[in-house]
Structure 1
Amino acid sequence: MEKLDATRQPQDLESAAPQNVNSNVGGPTDGGRDAWMTIAGCFMIQFCTIGYSNAFGVYQDIYTREFLSNKSPSDISWIGSFQYFMQYAPGIFVGLAFDAGYFRHMMALGSFLEVFSIFMLSLVRKGQYYQVFLAQAIGIGLGQALLFIPSLTVISQHFKKRRSFATGVAVTGASVGGIVWPILLNQLDQKATFGNANRAAGAVAGVLLLCANMLMKPLPVERKAMTNVYIGVKSVFQDIAYMVSIGAACLASLGLFFPYFYLQLYAVSQGVAPRLAFYTLAILNAGSILGRLVPNFFADRLGPYNMIIPCLFLTAMLLFVVLGVHSFAGIVLFGFFYGCTSGSYISLIPSIIGQLSRHSGQPGLRMGFAFTSVGFWILIGTPIEGALLHPPGSNGPLAWSPCIIFSAIAVACGALGMVISRIIFVGRGRNGGLGQLI
């Protein structure tokens, strides 16, 4: 046997490993009917997963003021954060299943679980926290886990040179969903009942997920023995630039989702009428459409690192700015620009992982490990902010400054982590001679 050189870099060891987990029978075409049909299907998946989760601010407001008024904002935010957690946490197992060729199976099972759980949410009783938690946090979250990560990873089968832009187009589905779902849920909750609002949401999700399953066209893979899973997992921990970028993403995620959970409640607390306050979430997600498209378009030319770093710093700055925003017009402007910058970060993360994983024969493993790691920090982020917002034993007004400052500092630390990851990436020559395209 050839003796391994101790001086070889982790990516060299990775490329030397047998690439026989699965191999695409066809390569990326960067276009064509099947490729863009797949993007259309991914758009619908994102609409029904991240887009639906981004509307949790509506549930946070409804639960805090009415449906679960016996619980604190921190207790209620655990529902949304655990839903996000369940969506991300099984990522490493979902990624391995994707690499093994079980894309269709996960799509079918995930679609059923999400729709079934939304209908179960329509049957929960007022004041029953555990029923809401089981249906929304666990049921919907697990169904979305089987849909979200595979729908992002399959894009790499069809796109290479234009992968960032294709990913940006697909994830705009989350932004569109973030506009439609809050308006739909708020209007139905005001004009009908909480149960009927969720039944309508389940019907919409069911139709879209059925269409997505028919539209997506994964490339066939050769299923072989997964003999290099250990080598693949080991190479993940040996790749310093990759691990630092995951740490940075975890820190950013600790504070990034604060407005998605609390902006509607913040608007109401500043004297905005509830009939207007719910539009703040829709405007936030409208801004993220622009944020998910424009930076991703330039990322294919300038590099994903060079786009994600300034977007993170701007996101942190905007969180500090919101401390001085008290009018409806100011909150609307904040929501739009925050949607632009935070949406850029969310849509560029898959491109960063792809950039750092190009020597890997297991894109699903790399993507899944990243989202599993981020999921734990999403789980604790918004409950921490909720505890800062309404300290235990406090009966006074909501304390917005501590949770906003905490969120801003967490995102700023994430931005600094991405700078460090980029320096390591360049220092190890991982840019493949592309110079600034990182």
Structure 2
Amino acid sequence: MVFVADDKKSHHAVAVTSLADSQESLPHSDDAILPQPAVVTVGGDDDDDYPDGGSVAWRQVIAGHFINCMACGYGAAFGIYQLYYTESLKLPSAQISWIGSVQIFLNNVICTVAGRLADAGYARETVIGGSLIALLGTFMTSLATEYWQIFLAQGVCTGLGLGLMYMPAITIVASYFKKRRALALAISSAGTGTGSIIFPAAVQYLVPKIGFPWAVRCAGFVALFMVLVMNLLLKPRLVPRTSGPLVEWTAFKEPPYVIFVAGTFMLYWALYFGFFYVNTYAIAVASFTPTSAVSLLLIMNAVGIPARPIIGYLADTYLGPINAFILSTISLAIAFFAWIAIATPSTMYGFVILFGITNSMAQGAFTGALASMTKDPSKMGTRFGMCFTVVSVATVAGPPTAGAIIDYSGGSYLWAQVWAGVVTVLGAVTIAVARWWVSGAKINVKV
């Protein structure tokens, strides 16, 4: 006799005496299960009942898309602010980069707290609280006139709010999907591209008409609309895990998880370099004007929107999430090295398309790959948050590191581009080691 969970009443069970009585029955412990050596499952949550579709599940993907519009799209659009602050405040690019880097750092470092709150059953409350903090930071940015004011409003306040919003979205979406988890997470994370178009466009094209303060406020009102929609759609599914520590230290005793986090650290160390400096590079090297350079960031983010669902589909159907992440990271490294040869407007447009696609693929594949490393779904938020907290150190150091290399090189971007390419290659190799630890030396394995 076996038991299956009722979809409508998760705390009750239905006895099933024969596998033939119901197609939804779970197999007996002694049932023969044919091995499938071509597929390696990292997680151990096979017995959990995932909807893997339905209106409620896909509404969580929509909510996650809106959350990513703000939590990731806002940060990825800092290149617009970088250009404006550099011209208006007359400060070195490396110093301006600290605003965006601290915002992304806090966005990631707070994820351990946000992830544990989500696992404990406070996902909606965490998103609402983060939304209010992020909106406060955005509207305060519109009032700021000095560097320290912008740093506190856009760097600190907005960064903390966006981080609190981000992590619960991943845990909720992942709890509704298993077979199509990589695709669902990729569609959700595609909101990064959507937000990276909306927010910079709102600021850049409204500044000449209504000024910078009101342009930022208009972006804030767009964010307010997104906040209302996402909080209406969110519906956590898993039973809260009320006990347990803030940090699951035993995860750091698992070599695949630790190696995977190390590889992701190196990837994110270089990842935001392109977003922050593509506009200034186009003006300094490729003969763009400040106005025309804005289109590059918009194109970069636009081409990345379909790239994420595509890599998610390939990960679920053909490659496996970790394999997809490795290949995407390698492609991003190639884009960094290709950047060295860019010197004309036409090649610049080609580069931003290549970088936008490869960058979005790497970020889109990351969430599915990390989810596959988590054995217990009730610890999804905690383990995700731990990874993002470690990665936060890389995100805060990356753009200033690139800026310092550029300043030390007398304004040349060459060695910063080489640094980004090499670091990304090392990240791909490290993630490949984590994959080897899981599946062995087999190449033709979906993992």
Compute the TM-score of the two structures, normalised by the length of structure 1: 0.88
In the aligned structure 1, how far is the partner of 2:446 from the partner of 2:330?
Answer: 20
CA distance in 2, matches of 1:209, 1:198: 16
Q: Equivalent residue of 2:248, what SS?
A: helix
The alignment status of 1:178 with 2:193, answered yes or no, reads: no
Aligned match for 1:36, one of 58, 63, 74: 58
Secondary structure at the residue paired with 2:375?
A: coil
Shift of 1:156: 1.4
Asked if 1 retains the 8 angstrom alpha-carbon contact of 2:86 and 2:92, the reply is yes
**2:339 is aligned with 1:317:** no
Q: Is residue 193 of structure 1 aligned with residue 202 of structure 2?
A: no
| CA shift for structure 1 position 426 | 1.1
Written as runs of structure 1 = structure 2, the 5 A alignment for 1:374-385 is 374-385=391-402
Q: How does 1:112-261 map to 2 (within 5 A)?
A: 112-125=132-145, 128-219=146-237, 221-222=239-240, 224=242, 226=243, 228-229=244-245, 233-261=248-276
Shift of 1:54: 0.9
Is the CA contact (8 Å cut-off) linking 2:113 and 2:385 kept in structure 1?
yes
Could you tell me which residue of structure 2 aligns to residue 78 of structure 1? 98
Q: Deviations over 1:28-48 (max 9, x none)?
A: 201111111111111111111
For the pair shown, the structure with the greater C-alpha radius of gyration is 2
Change (3 A) 1:167 1:223: closer
Shift of residue 92, structure 1, vs aligned partner: 1.4
Q: Deviations over 1:292-334 (max 9, x none)?
A: 1111101012201221112111111111111111112211111
Distance 1:105 1:183 in 2: 30
| Partner SS state of residue 31, structure 1 | coil
1:423 paired to 2:445: no
Give the conservation status (yes or no) of the 8 Å contact 1:107–1:147.
Answer: yes
Letter in 1 for 2:69: F
Q: Show CA shifts across 1:170-224 (max 9, x none).
A: 1111111112222221111222211011110111101111111001121152454
In 2: Cα distance, 1:359 partner to 1:111 partner = 28
1:406 matched to 2:419:
yes
Alpha-carbon distance in structure 2 between the residues aligned to 1:243 and 1:428: 19
The one-letter amino acid paired with 2:312 is N
Larger deviation, residues 212-221 vs 291-300: 212-221
The one-letter code matched in structure 1 to 2:321 is P
SS in 2 for 1:390: helix
What amino acid sits opposite 2:251 in the alignment? V
Q: Is the counterpart of residue 437 in structure 1 residue 441 in structure 2?
A: no
Distance 1:222 1:72, change over 3 A: closer
Post-superposition offset of 1:129: 1.0
| 1:245-324 alignment, distance < 5 Å | 245-270=260-285, 271-301=287-317, 302-324=319-341
Partner Cα distance (1:379, 1:234) in 2 = 24
The aligned counterpart of 1:90 is 110
Structure-2 change in CA distance of 1:241 and 1:189 (3 Å): same
How does 1:59-78 map onto structure 2 within 5 Å?
59-66=81-88, 68-69=89-90, 71-78=91-98
Letter in 2 for 1:285: N
Q: Distance in 1 between matches of 2:305 and 2:136?
A: 28
- CA shift in 2, pair 1:359/1:218, >3 Å: closer
Q: 1:370 to 1:130 in 2, by over 3 A?
A: same
Change (3 A) 1:358 1:278: same
**Which letter maps to 1:279?**
S
Q: Normalization by structure 2: what TM-score?
A: 0.86
Query: 1:379 corresponds to which letter in structure 2?
Result: V
CA distance in 2, matches of 1:154, 1:428: 34
The 8 Å contact of residues 39 and 216 in structure 1, kept in 2 or not, is answered as no
Provide closer, same or farther for how the CA distance between residues 204 and 261 of structure 1 changes in structure 2, counting only shifts above 3 A.
same
Q: Residues of 2 paired with 1:152 and 1:330: CA distance? A: 36
- Equivalent position SS for 1:124: coil
SS at match of 2:178: coil
Question: Contact between 1:31 and 1:158, CA under 8 Å: does it hold in 2?
Answer: yes
Change (3 A) 1:380 1:223: closer
Distance in 2 (alpha carbons) for counterparts of 1:277 and 1:295: 28
Determine if contact 2:241/2:378 at 8 Å carries over to the other structure: no
1:416 positional shift: 0.7
Paired residue secondary structure (1:253):
helix
Contact 2:439/2:445 (8 A) holds in 1: no
Contact 1:94 1:368 in 2 (8 A): yes
C-alpha RMSD of matched pairs (Å): 2.1
SS at match of 2:179: coil
Select which of 367, 371, 375 maps to 1:358: 375
Gaps of 5+ in 2: 1-42
Paired residues, number: 402
Cα separation, 1, equivalents of 2:85 and 2:267: 26
Moved more, 354-363 or 377-386: 354-363
Alignment gaps of 5+ in structure 1: 1-13
Partner of 2:38: none
